Amino acid sequence: MRSELEIIQMEVGLLQNFCEVIGCPETGDAALVDPAFEVDRLLAVVREREWTVRTILLTHTHDDHVAGLDEAAEATGAVVRCHPMEVERARAFAPRVEPVSDGEEVTIGAGVARAVFTPGHTPGCVCWYLPQPGAVITGDVLFVGSCGGVHYPDSDSVAMVHSLQNRLGALPEETKLYPGHDYGKTPTSTLLWERLHNPALTNDTLDDFRRYKKVR
Ligand SMILES: [Zn+2]
Ligand SMILES: [Zn+2]
């Protein structure tokens, strides 16, 4: 039986970014997700709970998700895990960066975070699925009520539709959603709510999605 991980969501910086602290109450091992801004606040949460950060998980390496990575890596000595295509950029911030593979389960104490490759916003986007407690951290792929931009030079709307419909679509509908930005009516949601109400998901063909996102 895997241990249920605790997820603490924190809004940081001026771009409504969410970072997460994930901890295993059983062992005290912890991970940070996308340490970008106000790293001291993340570390204060870790200290309060007497946890030890062993891993830093990245959803992708846009500046607003890695701006505090150097500070977080130096303070914790943690190993950074990200998509192979984002490794080089992550190494500019942290000495210990290891690529993750699709479906790989990264240990956090007695629990795991599973890498789900979800290209589209960038080619190297990873969503992190936590089977216990049943949650997914989606970075800039899926937000509450919308989704990340596909207008960047390396964005790919075909890949994005596949990621939203087939990759995130394969996760259980009761999965709790932790987006990378606080752009919705609520800070978290469920995949079921999004499937029913989010135009990024209800526009489920490539043509409809492109019209919705105003991209070609
Ligand atoms: Zn981004
Ligand atoms: Zn972002």
- How does pLDDT run across 120-134, given as a tens digit for each residue? 999 999 999 999 999
* Residue 121 CA to ligand 2 centre (angstroms): 10
Strands (E), the chain: 6-12, 17-23, 29-33, 52-57, 79-82, 97-99, 105-108, 111-117, 126-130, 135-139, 142-143, 146-147, 176-179, 189-190
pLDDT in tens, 79-121: 999 999 999 999 999 999 999 999 999 999 999 999 999 999 9
According to the model, what pLDDT value does residue 26 have? 96
Nearest bound ligand to CA 180?
A: 2
Average pLDDT over residues 15-42: 97
pLDDT of residue 170: 98
Residue 2 CA to ligand 2 centre (angstroms): 31
Neighbours of 13 (CB within 10 A): 15
Domain ranges in the chain are 6-213
212: number of Cβ within 10 Å: 14
Average pLDDT, the chain: 97
How far does residue 25's CA lie from ligand 1's centre (Å)? 30
Distance from residue 211's CA to the centre of ligand 2 (Å): 22
Query: Which CATH number among 3.40.50.2300, 3.60.15.10, 3.40.50.300, 2.102.10.10 corresponds to the domain 6-213?
Result: 3.60.15.10
Per-residue confidence band for 1, with pLDDT thresholds at 50, 70 and 90: low
Angle at which helix 39-48 crosses helix 69-76, to 10 degrees, equals: 30
Residues 6+ apart with CB under 8 A from 129: 113, 114, 116, 135, 136, 171, 175
CA of 192 to the centre of ligand 1 (A): 23
Q: What is the pLDDT of residue 3?
A: 74
Say whether pLDDT at 2 is over 70: no
Average pLDDT over residues 176-201: 98
